Each structure stands twice: as structure tokens, then as C-alpha cells.
Amino acid sequence: MENNGNVKTVQIYYEQPYLTDLEATITRIEEKGAQHIVELDRTIFYPEGGGQPSDQGEIVGAAGRLKVEQVRTLPDGRIVHQGKILGPLSEGEGVKLSIKWSARYKNMRVHSAGHLIHDVLMRLTDHTVTPTKGNHGPKAFLEYAGHLDSAAKKQLEIQLNEAVSQDLTIVNRDADYEEIASRCRFVPPGLPKNKQLRIIQIGSFDPMPDGGVQVRSTKEIGNVIIHSITEDGSNTVIRYGVKGGD
């Protein structure tokens, strides 16, 4: 069965971010060196993007399985699941997907923590620093153009965990560029204007563009640890992690 590039994978991970198992159909299989790439009609596997690592897990058929090691989104919007195939799998076959939930949930918590750090920081600094980049994986960090004063550094972790304890609702949903441009104080340069986007809002904090998978409330994040706040030239780098909440 040939996937001509017009068939997009339905992103169930956005519709149901807490779903760990799903039935789907293989639309394409391709060899890639010692591994294989599998495309599906729908998926719960989050592809790497927005600083959030991809999911891992298994795609299991009647007699074979793919151990999913990496998931990516192609420029045309198709989602590919890459890993090693054990036994036969075929295009058109119905399969069961299972993600490694412990890793996914940790990624969700770390990513949501990054947004909460940003929100609290913006209130502390009155938006005098500007986000430049970040990563929400095992070595999570946020980088900002500008410097923090000593008072902001001291208050950041305290106010972060106060917000966690308030169990604030986290809303993460589809949005178009026009809504993002009108509602968000910061819009990343180069954000596409001709495709469906996503937006996140935590409690009464300002909304922000986001393409990740988030937890439902700040209480799920658990305790946020600020490992360090350092200056790198004209930028400030905040390294952080989460504890508890599993």
C-alpha cells in the first residue's frame, strides 16, 4: 500500500494525551538501514518536537512487532515510527500501539514545568527577558535574552512551587496563527501561518504557542527544582527538573 503523502496520520496524542494503547492500521513500511520506518493511519506516539522527546514503545501485529525507538514528523506532515522489526509486519495490517507511559508522563510533566517557569518568570521580570530556546528532555533548560536580578533568582523556585500547589488548570488546544498573534505576548519568529497550531494556558497566566503534550494541572507536575541559573554572554540559562508526581 503506497502512502502518496496526502494521507496524514491522525494525532490521537493531542485528542487523548493520557491514552497508552490504541489500535491502528499500517499505511506504509520502509527499510532504513538496519531499521524500519512504519507509518500509521493514526497514532498515540508523540513525535519529537518543541523541545519534547519522542515517545517509545511497541507496534504489535499478528506475528511481528516494531520496537519504536524514535518518532518524527516529516515536512509534509506525515508521522514516521522508526525502530527494529521483529517478525513480519505488512502494509494494511491492523496493529496495537503501546507507548512507554512512564517516559511519556515524565516528558509531559517536564514540558509543563518549563511553561510554568516561563509564566512565573514573566511576572517576576515584567517581561524584561525574552525566550530564545529551550529543551524539555532529561537535561531540561530554558534560555532567555537578558539577565535576571538577584531578587528574581531567589523568588523563582518559591513562586513556581506555590503555583504547583494551587493545582492550576492547564489548557492545551488547537489554535490558528491569528488567535496566537492576537492573544500571545511572545510569538516565535518563523511560526507557520498556514497550518494548524497549538496554544497553552496555565491558570490566569498569559497564553503561549505550544506543540507539545501537557499534563492537565500544575499539581501533576510535582516539585520543580531549579538546578542553576547562569549567564552566558547576554543570555540567561535556567536548568531545571521535576520530582514527585509520578
Query: Residue 222 belongs to a domain with what CATH number?
Result: 3.30.980.10
**pLDDT over 70 at 194, yes or no:** yes
What is the chain's length?
A: 246
pLDDT digits (tens, 9 = 90+) for 170-182: 999 999 999 999 9
Dist. CA 110–CA 147, nearest whole Å: 23
Alpha helices (H) in the chain, listed in sequence order: 12-15, 101-125, 150-165, 177-183, 218-221
Q: 49-97, pLDDT tens digit by residue? A: 989 999 999 999 999 999 999 999 998 889 999 999 999 999 999 999 9
Check residue 196 and give its pLDDT. 87
Task: Return the beta strands (E) in the chain as ranges.
Answer: 10-11, 21-32, 35-40, 42-43, 57-60, 65-73, 79-86, 94-99, 130-135, 141-145, 170-175, 197-202, 208-209, 223-232, 235-243
Q: What mean pLDDT is predicted for residues 233-244? A: 94
| Angle (nearest 5°) at CA 138 between 133 and 140 | 30
Q: Would the pLDDT of 35 be above 90?
A: yes
pLDDT for 6 equals: 57
- How many domains does the structure of the chain reveal? 2
Span 139-161, average pLDDT: 93
Q: Range of 58's domain?
A: 10-99
Beta-ladder partners of 131: 144
Query: What's the pLDDT at 149?
Result: 87
Question: Do 30 and 110 have their domain in common?
Answer: no
Mean pLDDT for all residues in the chain? 94
Asked if the structure places residue 4 within a domain, the reply is no
30: closest CA among 90, 74, 86, 76? 90
Query: Of 66-75, 95-104, 149-158, where does mean pLDDT reach its minimum?
Result: 149-158
∠239-242-243 over CA atoms, to 5°? 140
Amino acid identity of residue 30, one-letter, is E
Q: Are residues 123 and 175 in the same domain?
A: yes
Q: Considering 99, 124, 139, which residue would you say is the last residue of a domain?
A: 99
- Give 17 or 151, the one with higher predicted confidence: 17
